[in-house]
């Protein structure tokens, strides 16, 4: 099958899965199941009960949209970094974005700022500072201006270690009730976004498009930089563009959702196992699959606890790690 | 004199309220937000345990349709539907209960959650009591919100009377003991100046050794030895540890005045960390611990 048709087919298939999962997630929640009401709304009929309509339209639908955007962005971020660094353990936070944004967010919380715009802006600024530092470091250590993959990786790991120490220091100085807010942020939490902030999520769409266009160059980068350069790719510019665009979209998402973990690590691996190494296929698959996956996790986070909800970051690894090991075993067997 | 003023005020109130005989009115809550509240709210959700408590104290529990996770007092509140914990409210459940008003507390309910509820068209009245006087103000406000002005006035005057009694008894005491109030263990935390605990210690005729700008300062045992508390009060919730264990952890520091004189007490945490009328119970307990001679004597006179 030609690659173009394959891309369309996979995109349509996963798109349908995403829509189906979204309908299920909108139908269920702590206030009970509303499957028929959701179907009625889809058919264009209204819902007579005002409370039910509010729950479906203004509480669950925005949550599902946010989960889709966060999941898609993180999975795509993981995919790009795994290709750029040629390291299977890479994930969207590996270059220190998580550490920088967490320090920013925690400082804003300790200053008593509101989640929006206060915490979100501090967190975004924190991750940008880290990004600037890591790219500068990677450039200088190599001597030339080309971004070295190992120095990038090591710089990021060191940055995260340093930030982790600062985070632990800040937490140790904080009283219990604030620690809870900080921990929820660190675990990733989709319950904070206000509905009027949803349009911010649209910023990730152009990033998706640019990364999709860079799918073929990413395939060539996997063969090694020399080979890629020989095939006519401007390695330095491509790497830099991917690095900056990916970090930007991840930073924006993190500033709104906190550090939702594991999605960015496991989803690219799952699709690589299922679809092979072609990034032109993997980019749309990770966006749609990551979105679907986080919607499911968020649904579980909302309905599993008897009272309240738990941070979604707990579910992502709880479900994702066994799922991935299962796939791995079946693949090698 | 004051009777006349009240009469005039009441007449003025009646006069001005006459033309606005509709079903809702605009009020300003304790953090300065203006909101439209229903005239006679019948479906109220209390977003914190302290608010649940005050509503029961006002005898208005028939209006309550939802409470939060740790609303354990009075025991009857345990059977009401839960809407998550006060820091992590379940918005879906709140909406499903169709409240006509939610009552929130500034120190506790996150602002983004309150904003969300308001965004869904549910009025939220936020209370923000920071000291005993403001708790009484809160009770009056909630009383008028729930059409229970009379019950609120009685509750407030009862609190005032009991506070005044404590004040009178301890004022005659010359010595003000140095009190360390331990709210958390491993690490040790106490309560600074801007807390209910500080106010209660002062009213009870003691000196708070943790007085200072930091609301909840942290201590090491070294600091404690420098502070030399004469009396140690330990919150029963401290560190989730057993009371005997908490007392034992102090007993090894024999050079402390409080240990030498065996004046280490575990007190019920609920009486000190919730902005409700029960703080006055807490006040009476601290006062009796700090100045036992004054309270035992009075009890012999069979006052109450």
For residue B170, name the pLDDT band (cuts at 50, 70, 90).
Answer: confident
Contact: B87, A59; criterion CB under 8 Å: no
| pLDDT exceeds 80 at position B97 | yes
The CATH number of the domain where A28 resides is what?
Answer: 1.10.3470.10
Out of B69, B87, B92, the one facing A29 most closely (by C-beta) is B92
pLDDT computed for residue B259 by the predictor = 92
pLDDT digits (tens, 9 = 90+) for B34-44: 999 999 999 99
Q: Which of B112, B147, B182 is the last residue of a domain?
A: B147
Out of A31, A114, A180, the one facing B92 most closely (by C-beta) is A31
Domain that holds residue B218: 170-294
Say if B11 is an interface residue toward chain A (CB within 8 Å). Answer: no
Cβ pair A278, A207 in contact under 8 A: no
Give the residue from chain A lying closest to B81, CA to CA.
A307
Say how far apart CA A190 and CA B34 lie, in whole Å. Answer: 29
Residue with tokens 């911010």: A200
pLDDT computed for residue B302 by the predictor = 38
Which of B90, B109, B121, B235 should one mutate to test binding to chain A, selecting the residue with the greatest count of A CBs within 10 A? Answer: B90
Which of A27, A30, A48, A177 should one mutate to test binding to chain B, selecting the residue with the greatest count of B CBs within 10 A? Answer: A30
Quote the ipTM score.
0.76
pLDDT digits (tens, 9 = 90+) for A283-312: 999 999 999 999 999 999 988 887 777 888
The CATH number of the domain where B116 resides is what?
Answer: 3.40.50.1980
pLDDT computed for residue B304 by the predictor = 35
Say if B80 is an interface residue toward chain A (CB within 8 Å). Answer: no
Q: Is B153 helix (H, G, I), strand (E, B) or coil?
A: helix
- How distant is the Cα of B220 from the closest Cα of chain A, in angstroms? 13
For residue B303, name the pLDDT band (cuts at 50, 70, 90).
Answer: very low
Contact: A192, B112; criterion CB under 8 Å: yes
The answer on B178 and B100 residing in a single domain is no
Say how far apart CA A20 and CA A37 lie, in whole Å. Answer: 15
pLDDT digits (tens, 9 = 90+) for A202-236: 999 999 999 999 999 889 888 877 888 888 888 87
Say how far apart CA B207 and CA B203 lie, in whole Å. Answer: 10
The answer on B231 and B124 residing in a single domain is no
pLDDT digits (tens, 9 = 90+) for B114-160: 999 999 999 999 999 999 999 999 999 999 999 999 999 999 999 99
Domain count within chain B: 2
Q: Which residues of chain A does B69 touch, with a Cβ-Cβ cutoff of 8 Å?
A: 307-308
pLDDT computed for residue B7 by the predictor = 52
- Whole-angstrom CA distances from B235 to B20, B74, B185, B239, B265 are 49, 20, 9, 9, 9
For residue B29, name the pLDDT band (cuts at 50, 70, 90).
Answer: very high
Find the radius of gyration of the CA atoms of chain B.
Answer: 22
Domain that holds residue A313: 3-332
- Whether the link from the prior residue into A228 is cis, omega within 30° of 0, is no
Say how far apart CA A35 and CA A25 lie, in whole Å. Answer: 10
Cβ pair B128, B31 in contact under 8 A: yes
What is the C-alpha end-to-end distance of chain B, expressed in Å? 30
pLDDT computed for residue A9 by the predictor = 94
Q: State both tokens at B15.
A: 């006069």
Average pLDDT of chain A, as a whole number = 87
| pLDDT exceeds 50 at position B20 | no
Q: Is B134 helix (H, G, I), strand (E, B) or coil?
A: helix
pLDDT digits (tens, 9 = 90+) for B250-277: 998 888 999 999 999 999 999 998 999 9
User: Which residues of chain A fall below pLDDT 70?
Assistant: 138-149, 176-177
The answer on B135 and B251 residing in a single domain is no
Conformational region of residue B68, where left means phi above 0, alpha means psi within -120 to 50, and beta covers everything else: beta
Cβ pair A97, A88 in contact under 8 A: no
Q: Which residues of chain A does B82 touch, with a Cβ-Cβ cutoff of 8 Å?
A: 307
Say how far apart CA B295 and CA B287 lie, in whole Å. Answer: 8
Domain count within chain A: 1
Q: Which residues of chain A does B85 touch, with a Cβ-Cβ cutoff of 8 Å?
A: 307-308
For residue B196, name the pLDDT band (cuts at 50, 70, 90).
Answer: very high
Give B110's contacts (C-beta < 8 A, 6+ positions apart).
A115, A181, B87
CA-based nearest residue to B236, from B276, B184, B186: B184
Contact: B121, A191; criterion CB under 8 Å: no
Say if A212 is an interface residue toward chain B (CB within 8 Å). Answer: no
């Amino acid at each position: 099958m030609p690659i173009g048709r394959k891309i369309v087919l996979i995109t349509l298939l996963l798109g349908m899965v995403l829509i189906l999962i979204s309908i299920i997630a909108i139908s269920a929640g702590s206030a009970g199941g509303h499957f028929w009401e959701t179907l009625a709304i889809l058919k264009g009929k209204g819902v007579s009960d005002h409370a039910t309509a509010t729950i479906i339209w203004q509480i669950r639908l925005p949550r599902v949209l946010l989960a889709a955007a966060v999941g898609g962005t993180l999975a795509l971020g993981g995919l790009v970094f795994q290709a750029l660094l040629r390291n299977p353990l890479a994930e969207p936070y590996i270059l220190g974005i998580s550490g920088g944004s967490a320090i920013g967010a925690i400082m804003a919380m300790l200053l008593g700022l509101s989640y929006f715009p206060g915490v979100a802006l501090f967190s975004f600024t924190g991750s940008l500072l880290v990004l600037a530092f890591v790219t500068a470091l990677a450039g200088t250590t190599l001597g030339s201006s080309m971004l070295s993959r190992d120095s990038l990786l090591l710089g990021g790991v060191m940055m995260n270690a340093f930030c982790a120490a600062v985070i632990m220091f800040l937490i140790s100085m904080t009283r219990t009730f604030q620690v809870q807010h900080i921990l929820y942020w660190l675990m990733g939490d989709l319950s904070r976004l206000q509905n009027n902030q949803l349009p911010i999520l649209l910023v990730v769409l152009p990033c998706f498009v640019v990364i999709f266009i860079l799918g073929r160059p990413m395939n060539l980068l996997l063969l090694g930089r020399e080979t890629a350069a020989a095939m006519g790719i401007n390695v330095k510019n491509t790497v830099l563009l991917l690095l900056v665009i990916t970090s930007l979209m991840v930073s924006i998402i993190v500033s709104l959702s906190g550090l939702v973990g594991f999605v960015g690590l496991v989803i690219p691996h799952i699709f690589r196992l299922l679809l092979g190494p072609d990034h032109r296929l993997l980019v749309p698959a990770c966006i749609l699959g990551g979105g679907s996956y986080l919607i499911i996790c968020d649904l579980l986070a909302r309905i599993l606890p008897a009272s309240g909800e738990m941070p979604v970051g707990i579910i992502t690894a709880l479900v994702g790690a066994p799922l991935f090991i299962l796939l791995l075993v079946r693949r090698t067997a | 004199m004051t009777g006349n003023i009240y009469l005039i005020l009441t007449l003025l109130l009646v006069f001005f309220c006459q033309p606005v005989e509709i079903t809702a009115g605009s009020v300003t809550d304790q953090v300065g937000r203006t909101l439209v509240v229903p005239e006679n709210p019948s479906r109220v959700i209390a977003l914190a345990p302290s608010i649940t408590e005050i509503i029961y104290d006002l005898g208005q529990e028939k209006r309550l349709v939802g409470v939060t996770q740790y609303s354990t007092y009075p025991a009857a509140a345990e059977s009401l539907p839960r809407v998550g914990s006060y820091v992590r409210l379940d918005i879906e459940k709140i909406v499903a209960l169709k409240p006509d008003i939610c009552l929130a507390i500034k120190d506790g309910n996150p602002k983004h959650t309150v904003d969300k509820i308001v965004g869904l068209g549910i009025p939220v009245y936020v209370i923000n009591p920071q000291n005993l006087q403001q708790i009484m103000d809160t009770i009056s406000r909630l009383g008028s919100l729930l059409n229970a002005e009379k019950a609120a006035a009685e509750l407030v005057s009862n609190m005032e009377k009991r506070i005044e009694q404590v004040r009178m008894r301890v004022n005659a005491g010359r010595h003000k003991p140095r009190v360390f109030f331990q709210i958390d263990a491993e690490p040790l935390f106490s309560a600074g100046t801007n807390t209910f605990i500080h106010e209660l210690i002062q009213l009870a005729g003691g000196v708070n050794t943790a007085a200072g700008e930091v609301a909840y300062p942290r201590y090491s045992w070294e600091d404690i030895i420098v502070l030399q508390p004469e009396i140690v009060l330990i919150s029963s919730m401290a560190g989730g540890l057993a009371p005997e264990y908490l007392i034992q952890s102090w007993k090894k520091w024999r050079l402390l005045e409080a240990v030498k004189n065996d004046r280490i007490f575990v007190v019920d945490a609920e009486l000190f960390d919730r902005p409700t009328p029960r703080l006055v119970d807490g006040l009476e307990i601290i006062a009796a611990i700090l100045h036992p001679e004054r309270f035992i004597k009075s009890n012999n006179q069979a006052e109450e």
